[in-house]
Amino acid sequence: MTNSAPSTQQETAGDARGRPDDWSAGLVIAVDGPAGSGKSSAARGAARELHLRYLDTGAMYRALTWWLLSQGTDPADPVAVLREFRGAAIEIGMDPAAPRISVAGQDVAGPIRTRQVSNAVSAVAGLPPVREHLIRQQQEIIAAAVTGGDGIVAEGRDIGSVVAPEAEVKVFLTASEAIRAQRRSADLAADPAATAELTRQEQARRDRRDAPQMARAADAVEIDTTALGLDQVIAEIVGLARSRRAVRRG
């Protein structure tokens, strides 16, 4: 293992997003919410619509958790995690049409979405040294997108309050517990053990573990996605971004 900070590199090759509209250049949109609220799909959709970059901060925590598991490190053992996590070399791509995540050159976009990783990631993400390292890297990625004139949609648990409190647009997505469990169960359709009831139980446990990191920004706009289609949620985020930028520009 190395003793350096965990490496999170930004992949740019093959980025087919196109350029942002003039009005959206340098725009930062923060999308937060619990698992199953629809934030990943909505954030990606808004990024595609506005020709912005897309950052899935949760994928970074999942990639680190997957790597620890692959190394035989128990994610529930904080001493072991803090001893080993600096060896992970995470690379993340930000094209919303084809986001990528890899560790040490290995594509882990599929493996990080398994129940095993989902049930372990909260323990890893809750460790302050881990959060400090990854948040710093997330902030560097967002700053680079803004400096480059692209702008970015970043999604996670505390983007609007901690990672990017200066974001021009902040939304917090919610949904009923039943709908969130239903969506998550559909995502895990390939796992025969992922029944709706088991998914609901695991989701409830994860909600409790994630509570300390679930920080809704005071100025975030709440969108209840329970009865909304994905296109409707995307339209609300895009509309909010356009109106906020129009007001700011006077």
- Please say if the pLDDT value at position 19 is more than 70: no
96/44 Cα distance (integer angstroms): 5
CA 128, chain centre distance (Å): 18
- The confidence score (pLDDT) of residue 206 equals 72
CA distance 230 to 91: 28
* pLDDT for 164: 97
Backbone angles phi, psi at 101, to 5 degrees: -145, 130
Residue 186 confidence class, pLDDT cut points 50, 70, 90: low
How is 200-219 classified by DSSP, letter by letter?
HHHHHHHHHHHGGG----TT
Backbone dihedral angles phi then psi of residue 171, each to the nearest 5 degrees: -130, 150
Residues 81-102 pLDDT 10s:
999 999 999 999 999 999 999 9
Mean per-residue pLDDT over the chain, rounded? 86
**Cβ(156)–Cβ(150) under 8 Å?**
no
pTM of the model: 0.85
Q: How far apart are CA 99 and CA 10, in angstroms?
A: 11
14 pLDDT more than 50: no
Closest CA to 55 of 130, 143, 116: 143
Give the per-residue pLDDT at 16.
45
Sign of dihedral through CA atoms 68, 125, 56, 22? negative
pLDDT tens profile 129-143: 999 999 999 999 999
CATH for the stretch 7-241: 3.40.50.300
Identify the pLDDT of residue 239: 96
Query: Which has the minimum average pLDDT: 59-63, 184-188, 243-247?
Result: 184-188
pLDDT at 145 (0 to 100): 94
**Lowest-pLDDT choice from 11-15, 118-122, 191-195, 245-249:** 11-15
Residue 18 pLDDT class (50, 70, 90 cuts):
low
Higher pLDDT, 212 or 134: 134
What number is the average pLDDT over the span 146-168?
Answer: 95
15-24, 34-43, 108-117, 148-157: range with lowest mean pLDDT: 15-24
Q: Give the bridge partners for 170, in sequence order.
A: 30
- CA 146, CA 88: separation in Å to the nearest integer? 26
